C-alpha cells in the first residue's frame, strides 16, 4: 500500500517525502507502540544538539579556544547513547546475578523493560549524523523533516544497513525519479532477500535450534550432530541477516534511494580480516570511522593499532549484548585479527585455498558462543565437535529436524562457503554489476516471479519467524 500510494503521488514537490515519512513513523509506532518515545527523544535531541554543538563550537573557535571544540560533540554523542544504554543493558544487569546491580535494576522494574525495536541501528544513524556534521563544519541539513526521513525511512530502520546522511542527502532533498530499470532491480532484490530468509534461513534454523537445544543436556551431542548444527546456524544467521539487507536495499531502490551493500560473500573470505570487509560492511565501516581511526588506527604504531582493534571488538561485542557469549565471540574475532596483523597474514596472497578452509572452520567455531550466549553450552558444543564420536550417533532432535526442506536449505546454504568471492549470489543469478542496477530482463522476468510465488507459499505454510537481528 505504501509503495502504491507513493508511486501515484507527483514526483516533484515534497508530497512523496511527507507520505513516506508518515508511513515510516506509523510503521514503527505499529511495531513498538509506546517505545517510540525513546526513539523520538533520540531523533529530536540529536538534531537540536547537532545545531547547538555547531554553534558553541563556532563561538569557542572564534574566541580562541579551539581545544575545547570537541566537548559539545562528545556531550551530544553521550546523550544520544543514553536510551540505548538504558534499555539494552540495565535489564541485562537485572538478570546478571550481581547483587548490587540486580537490586538497583529491580528497583526500577528493569527486568520487564522491552528493548525498542531497532534502537541500536537508530542510535548509530543519529551518532553518524552528529559526528559527520561536526567533521564537515556545518550540520548536514537545515531541514528537520529531511532528518526524520533519514532516520525513520522504514527499509533500514530495524536492522540496517547503516546509511550515512551524505549518502542519501541528494535523494532526500531532491525529486527521486524511479526508472523501470530501478524498479525492476528493487523488486528482484527484495524478492531475493525474502527467499533467502524464508526458504533457507528459517529451514536451516530448525536444524540449528535442535542442535543448540540438545547442548543443554550433557552427552546428547556427538560430533556429526554438533557439526551439522553449527553449519546450520552459520547458514541461518547469514541468510537471515543478509536477506533483510537485500530486502531493505530492494525496497529503498523502489522508493528512489540507493543504500550501500552490507554483505559481499563473507563465507568466501580467506582471513578474518577479509571476513570483516564482507560481513555487515556498514557496521564495520561505522566502527572504523567513528572508533578505530579516532583512537589512532594504524597511524601511531602497533601498540596503538592493536589497542584500538581490541576496543572496537569489545564495543562490537557489547553492541550485540552484555552477555558472556558475545564477549567470547568478540574476543575470538579480535584475537584472530591481531594474529593476522602480527604475522602479516592479513595481506598475504599465499596459500589462499588453505586459509579459506581454515577461516571457514574458525567462523563456524566462533558462531557457537554467539548463538549460545553462555560459556558452558559453548564448551559442550566445542567438545562434541572435536572429541565426541562415534560418528553413527546423532541426537534424535537433530534427526527429526532433518526434513526434505531443511536438508535442501542446508545444501543451498552451504554453497555460500564454496562461492566465488568476487560476486554475490544476487549478482550471479540476476547479472547486475556494481553501480549498474539493470537486472537481466530474461532472468528478472523469469526467475523473480517464480521465486516470489514459491517464497510466499513458504510464508503461508510456516510459522512466524522474526529476523534474528531484530533482537539487537
What φ, ψ does residue 304 adopt, rounded to 5°?
-65, -40
How many CB atoms are closer than 10 A to CB 103?
10
Do 21 and 152 form a contact (C-beta atoms < 8 A)?
yes
> DSSP readout, 131-179?
HHHHHHTS-S-S-HHHHHHHHH-TTTTTT-----HHHHHHHHHS-----
Name the DSSP letter for residue 63: T
Max Cα distance, the chain (Å): 77
**pLDDT category, 24, cuts 50, 70, 90?**
confident
Residues 67-81 pLDDT 10s: 556 778 889 999 999
Predicted confidence at residue 470, as pLDDT, reads 64
- Say which range, 101-115, 159-173, 345-359, has the weakest mean pLDDT: 101-115
Is pLDDT at 243 greater than 90 in this prediction? yes
Q: What is the DSSP secondary-structure string of 180-236?
A: HHHHHHHHHHHHHHHHIIIIIIHHHHHHHHHHHHHTTSTT---HHHHHHHHHHHHHH
Predicted confidence (pLDDT) at residue 248 exceeds the cutoff of 80: yes
pLDDT at 447: 78
List the end-to-end C-alpha distance of the chain, in Å, as a whole number. 28
d(CA 445, CA 467): 28
Tally of CB atoms within 10 A around 132: 17
> What pLDDT does 104 receive?
66
Q: Tell me: the pLDDT tens digits for 132-174?
A: 999 988 899 999 999 999 998 877 777 779 999 999 999 998 8
Q: How confident is the model at residue 213 (pLDDT cuts 50, 70, 90)?
A: confident
CA distances from 270 to 30, 343, 416 (A): 43, 15, 13
| DSSP 8-class letter at 67 | G
* pLDDT at residue 208, as a whole number: 93
pLDDT at position 310 is 95
- Mean pLDDT on 270-278: 94
Cis? peptide before 161, omega within 30° of 0: yes
Helix (H, G, I), strand (E, B) or coil at 49: helix
CB-CB contact of 465 with 205 (8 Å): yes
- What's the average model confidence in pLDDT over 293-320? 90
Which of 125, 156, 320, 377 is flagged as catalytic? 320
Least confidently predicted of 178-182, 251-255, 331-335: 178-182
435 confidence band (pLDDT: 50, 70, 90):
low
pLDDT above 90 covers a percentage of the chain that reads 41
**Of the ranges 216-230, 327-341, 401-415, 431-445, which one carries the lowest mean pLDDT score?**
431-445
Predicted pLDDT at 126: 95
pLDDT of residue 369: 95
Whether the predicted pLDDT of 110 surpasses 70: no
The conformation of residue 288, written as its DSSP 8-state character, comes to I
pLDDT score recorded for residue 67 = 59
Which pLDDT score is estimated for 45?
93
Q: Give yes or no for residue 250 having a pLDDT over 80.
A: yes
Span 175-183, mean pLDDT?
85
What is the C-alpha separation between 165 and 179, in angstroms, rounded? 23
pLDDT, one tens digit per residue, over 357-388 is: 999 999 999 999 999 888 888 988 998 888 76
Decide if pLDDT at 422 tops 80: no
The helix-helix angle for 375-387 and 324-343 (nearest 10°) equals 60
Predicted confidence at residue 120, as pLDDT, reads: 87
State yes or no: pLDDT of 459 exceeds 90: no
Q: Is the pLDDT of residue 195 over 90?
A: yes
Respond yes or no: is residue 320 known to be catalytic. yes
**What pLDDT, on the 0 to 100 scale, is given for residue 471?**
61
pTM for the model: 0.89
User: What pLDDT sits at residue 201?
Assistant: 94
What is the model's pLDDT at position 433? 63
Mean pLDDT over the full length of the chain: 84
b/e sequence 212-229, b meaning 16+ C-beta within 10 Å: bbbbeeeebbbbbbbbbb
pLDDT(61) > 90: no
Query: Predicted confidence band at 346 (pLDDT cuts at 50, 70, 90)?
Result: confident
Residue 454 vs residues 135, 191, 198: alpha-carbon distances, Å: 48, 10, 10
DSSP 3-state of 323 = coil
Cβ burial of 307 (10 Å; 0-12, 13-18, 19+) is middle
Amino acid at each position: 500500500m505504501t509503495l502504491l500510494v507513493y508511486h501515484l503521488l507527483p514526483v516533484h514537490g515534497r508530497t512523496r517525502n511527507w507520505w513516506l515519512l508518515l508511513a515510516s513513523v506509523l510503521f514503527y509506532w505499529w511495531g513498538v507502540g509506546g517505545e517510540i518515545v525513546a526513539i523520538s527523544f533520540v531523533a529530536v535531541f540529536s538534531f537540536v544538539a547537532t545545531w547547538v554543538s555547531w554553534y558553541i563550537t563556532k563561538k569557542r573557535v572564534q574566541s580562541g579556544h579551539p581545544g575545547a571544540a570537541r566537548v559539545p560533540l562528545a556531550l551530544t554523542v553521550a546523550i544520544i547513547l543514553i536510551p540505548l544504554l538504558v534499555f539494552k543493558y540495565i535489564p541485562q544487569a537485572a538478570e546478571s546475578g550481581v547483587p548490587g546491580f540486580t537490586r538497583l535494576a529491580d528497583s526500577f522494574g528493569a527486568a520487564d523493560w522491552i528493548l525498542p525495536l531497532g534502537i541500536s541501528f537508530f542510535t548509530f544513524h543519529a551518532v553518524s549524523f552528529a559526528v559527520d556534521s561536526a567533521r564537515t563544519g556545518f550540520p548536514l541539513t537545515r531541514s528537520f523533516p529531511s532528518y526524520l526521513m533519514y532516520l525513520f525511512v522504514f527499509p533500514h530502520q530495524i536492522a540496517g544497513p547503516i546509511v550515512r546522511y551524505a549518502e542519501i542527502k541528494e535523494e532526500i532533498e531532491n525529486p527521486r525519479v524511479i526508472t523501470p530499470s530501478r524498479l525492476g532491480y528493487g523488486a528482484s532484490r527484495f524478492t531475493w532477500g525474502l527467499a533467502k530468509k524464508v526458504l533457507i534461513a528459517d529451514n536451516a534454523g530448525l536444524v540449528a535450534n535442535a542442535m543448540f537445544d540438545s547442548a543443554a543436556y550433557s552427552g546428547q551431542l556427538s560430533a556429526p550432530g554438533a557439526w551439522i548444527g553449527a553449519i546450520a546456524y552459520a547458514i541461518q544467521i547469514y541468510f537471515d541477516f543478509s536477506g533483510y539487507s537485500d530486502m531493505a536495499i530492494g525496497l529503498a531502490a523502489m522508493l528512489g534511494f540507493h543504500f550501500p551493500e552490507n554483505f559481499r560473500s563473507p563465507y568466501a573470505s580467506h582471513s578474518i580480516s577479509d571476513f570483516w570487509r564482507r560481513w555487515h560492511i556498514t557496521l564495520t565501516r561505522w566502527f572504523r570511522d567513528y572508533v578505530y581511526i579516532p583512537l589512532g588506527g594504524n597511524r601511531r604504531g602497533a601498540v596503538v593499532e592493536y589497542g584500538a582493534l581490541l576496543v572496537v571488538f569489545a564495543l562490537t561485542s557489547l553492541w550485540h549484548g552484555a552477555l558472556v557469549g558475545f564477549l567470547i565471540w568478540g574476543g575470538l574475532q579480535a584475537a584472530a585479527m591481531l594474529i593476522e596483523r602480527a604475522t602479516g597474514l592479513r595481506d598475504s596472497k599465499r596459500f589462499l585455498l588453505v586459509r579459506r578452509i581454515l577461516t571457514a572452520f574458525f567462523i563456524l567455531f566462533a558462531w557457537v558462543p554467539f548463538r549460545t550466549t553462555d560459556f558452558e553450552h559453548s564448551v559442550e558444543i566445542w567438545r562434541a565437535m572435536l572429541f565426541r564420536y562415534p560418528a553413527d550417533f546423532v541426537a534424535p532432535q537433530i534427526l527429526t529436524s532433518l526434513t526434505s526442506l531443511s536438508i535442501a536449505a542446508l545444501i543451498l546454504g552451504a554453497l555460500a562457503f564454496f562461492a566465488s568471492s568476487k560476486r554475490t549470489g544476487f549478482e550471479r543469478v540476476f547479472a547486475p554489476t556494481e553501480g549498474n542496477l539493470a537486472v537481466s530482463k530474461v532472468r528478472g522476468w523469469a526467475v523473480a516471479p517464480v521465486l516470489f510465488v514459491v517464497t510466499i507459499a513458504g510464508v503461508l505454510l510456516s510459522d512466524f519467524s522474526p529476523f534474528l537481528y531484530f533482537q539487537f
